[in-house]
């Protein structure tokens, strides 16, 4: 039997997950990634729920928990580094039955990729520059090299998806900017270290935090108010904006800004959501951030990227490859769930980096109240516990992949 082919653009979280499950559905996936190798560094993610369940079905749990972090506390400090408020993160572990871990996004991406790399055609350092659909296939033009044909093309290429742009139109049509920019970098040897504690410092409209990583590394995360129209695109300009924005900051701000000189990798992006009327068109579909980025404020984007990849592949398996039917069912199954996650993240926007002193004060009072037994559970339980159930699909060749 000739296997149907699918070109997946993007080897982040959704892309390798999709390649894995598409093979289980009897497809022949090809993965194309713009970067010359898997991306490293970046930031850490909290990981639980259905994404965690899918990772388990892929046989990844042991490794994820081995390399992951088990954060103990989120601590907010004042100008002099004194604890103002905070809460123990046990509540997340209780709500998830211990199935909760924090890990590097690039570590999760690597583990997913390792699951598929030997059995999947992978093309690095290349990208799709043209997509043309005909009656029975999609003709794809690559930036470097020839044109090729595939039965399906799937965009798993993140917030700034080019598959989305080429198929559905320019990003501004779908982007909802939430008013903040996020930046992150890591380096070795920073002191002090507060192991497994996420230490956060805020001023109106901006927060900066640090989190200890393995091998004496430290991750720094900035979230601050900025105008979307004037965001810098070069590394040097981005550093300048960070220095301008945090120049008056107290706590460890001067030291952290000085450390910026020691890094040549800075993650820098708008905090935006992607909201589209539909996630597929003809033989092209989108998964993960490309389709519905919920933003970092949902704290669940990676899990959602994995869920969407799993469901899309599963619906293709169930529909015996009838992509139109599968794409419609994929979206019908996930749409309301994703909408709720996006709405929740949007509501949470102001709490992450409140724009006024009163807002900061109020946010800290709410966090302080988390110490009241049961209150944290009550406040965040709805966002943590997934109500959706993962369907079981008709995988044709699952045993090959679950070892």
Comparing CB distances to ligand FAD, the nearer of 181 and 257 is 181
Q: Does 319 bind ligand FAD (CB under 6 A)?
A: no
Please state the closest distance from residue 34 (CB atom) to ligand FAD, in A.
Answer: 4
- Closer to ligand FAD by Cβ: residue 160 or 362: 160
Is residue 196 part of the contact set for ligand FAD (CB under 6 A)?
Answer: no
Please state, in angstroms and rounded to a whole number, the distance separating the CA atoms of residues 206 and 125: 35
Q: Whole-angstrom Cα distance, residue 136 to residue 262?
A: 52
Residue 105 lies near ligand FAD (rule: CB under 6 A): yes
d(CA 264, CA 70): 28
CB of 267 to ligand FAD, least distance (A): 7
Q: Give whichever of 296 and 360 is closer to ligand FAD, judged by the CB atom.
A: 296
CB of 292 to ligand FAD, least distance (A): 9
Main-chain dihedrals φ then ψ at residue 212, nearest 5 degrees: -75, 135
Taking CA atoms, 262 is separated from 104, 127, 241, 257, 266, in Å, by 20, 31, 17, 10, 11
Q: How far apart are CA 155 and CA 171, in angstroms?
A: 14
Helix axes 105-116, 301-318, angle to 10 degrees: 20
User: Is residue 288 within the footprint of ligand FAD (CB under 6 A)?
Assistant: yes
- Asked if residue 354 binds ligand FAD (CB under 6 A), the reply is no
Residue among 137, 157, 252, 242 nearest 201 (CA): 252
3-state helix, strand, coil in the chain (%, to 5): 40, 25, 35
Give the residue with the Cβ less far from ligand FAD, 77 or 221: 221
Among 89, 106, 167, 300, binds ligand FAD (CB under 6 A): 300
Q: Quick one: which of 53, 157, 186, 315 contacts ligand FAD (CB under 6 A)?
A: 157
Tell me, residue by residue from 209 to 248, as one string, x for binding to ligand FAD by CB under 6 A and - for no binding: ----------------------------------------
Interactions with ligand FAD, residue window 116-135 (CB under 6 A): 127
- CA nearest neighbour of 303 among 290, 289, 316: 289
Is 158 a residue that touches ligand FAD (CB under 6 A)? Answer: yes
With binding defined as CB under 6 A, does residue 53 bind ligand FAD? no
253 by DSSP, 3-state: which? Answer: helix
In terms of Cβ atoms closer than 10 Å to its own Cβ (0-12, 13-18, 19+), residue 336 is exposed
Work out which of 4, 5, 7, 15 binds ligand FAD, going by CB under 6 A: 15
**311 Cβ neighbours under 8 A, 6+ residues apart:** 330, 333, 334, 391
Q: Which helix (H) or strand (E) covers residue 175, if one does?
A: strand 175-188
Q: Which residue stretch of 28-36, 52-60, 110-118, 340-348 sits at the interface with ligand FAD (rule: CB under 6 A)?
A: 28-36
Q: Which of 4, 23, 34, 75 contacts ligand FAD by CB under 6 A?
A: 34
Smallest CA-to-CA distance from 260 within 248, 270, 268, 269 is with 268
- The answer to whether residue 162 forms part of the interface with ligand FAD (CB under 6 A) is yes
Q: Is 6 in the site for ligand FAD (CB under 6 A)?
A: no
Binding status of residue 43 toward ligand FAD by CB under 6 A = yes
CB of 289 to ligand FAD, least distance (A): 4
Rule CB under 6 A: is residue 18 a binding residue for ligand FAD?
Answer: no
Q: What end-to-end distance do the CA atoms of the chain give, in Å? A: 24
- Residue ranges binding ligand FAD (CB under 6 A): 9-15, 32-35, 39, 43, 45-47, 105, 127, 156-158, 162, 182, 184, 269, 288-290, 296, 299-303, 305
């Amino acid at each position: 039997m000739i296997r149907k082919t699918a070109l997946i653009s993007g080897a982040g979280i959704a892309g390798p997950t999709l390649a894995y499950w598409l093979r289980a559905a009897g497809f022949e996936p090809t993965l194309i990634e713009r970067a010359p190798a898997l991306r490293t560094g970046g930031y850490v993610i909290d990981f639980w729920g259905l994404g965690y369940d899918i990772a388990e079905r892929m046989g990844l749990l042991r490794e994820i928990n081995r390399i992951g972090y088990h954060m103990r506390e989120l601590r907010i400090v004042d100008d002099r580094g004194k604890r103002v408020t905070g809460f123990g993160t046990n509540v997340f572990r209780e709500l998830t039955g211990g199935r909760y871990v924090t890990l590097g996004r690039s570590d999760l991406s690597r583990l997913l990729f390792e699951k598929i790399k030997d059995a999947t055609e992978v093309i690095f350092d290349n990208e799709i520059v043209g997509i043309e659909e005909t009656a029975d296939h999609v003709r794809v033009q690559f930036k470097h090299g020839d044109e090729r044909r595939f039965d399906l093309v799937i965009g798993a290429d993140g917030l700034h998806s080019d598959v989305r742009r080429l198929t559905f139109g320019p990003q501004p049509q779908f982007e909802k900017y939430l008013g903040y920019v996020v930046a992150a970098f890591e380096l070795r040897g920073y002191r002090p270290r507060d192991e497994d504690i996420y230490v956060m410092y805020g001023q109106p409209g901006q927060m900066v935090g640090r989190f200890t990583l393995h091998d004496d590394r430290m991750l720094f995360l900035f979230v601050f108010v900025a105008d979307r129209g004037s965001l810098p695109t070069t590394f040097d300009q981005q550093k300048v904006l960070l220095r301008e924005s945090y120049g008056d900051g107290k706590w460890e701000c001067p030291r952290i800004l000085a450390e910026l000189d020691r890094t040549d990798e800075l993650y820098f992006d708008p905090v935006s959501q992607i909201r589209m009327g539909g996630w597929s068109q003809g033989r092209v579909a989108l998964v993960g951030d490309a389709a519905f980025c919920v933003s970092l404020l949902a704290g669940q984007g990676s899990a959602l990227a994995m869920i969407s990849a799993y469901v899309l592949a599963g619906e293709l398996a169930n529909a015996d490859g009838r992509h139109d039917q599968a794409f419609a069912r994929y979206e019908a199954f996930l749409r309301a769930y994703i909408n709720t996650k996006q709405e929740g993240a949007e509501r949470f926007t102001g709490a992450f980096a409140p724009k006024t002193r009163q807002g900061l004060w109020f946010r800290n009072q709410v966090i302080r109240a988390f110490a009241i037994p049961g209150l944290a559970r009550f406040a965040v339980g709805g966002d943590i516990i997934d109500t959706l159930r993962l369907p079981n699909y008709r995988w044709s060749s699952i045993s090959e992949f679950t070892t």
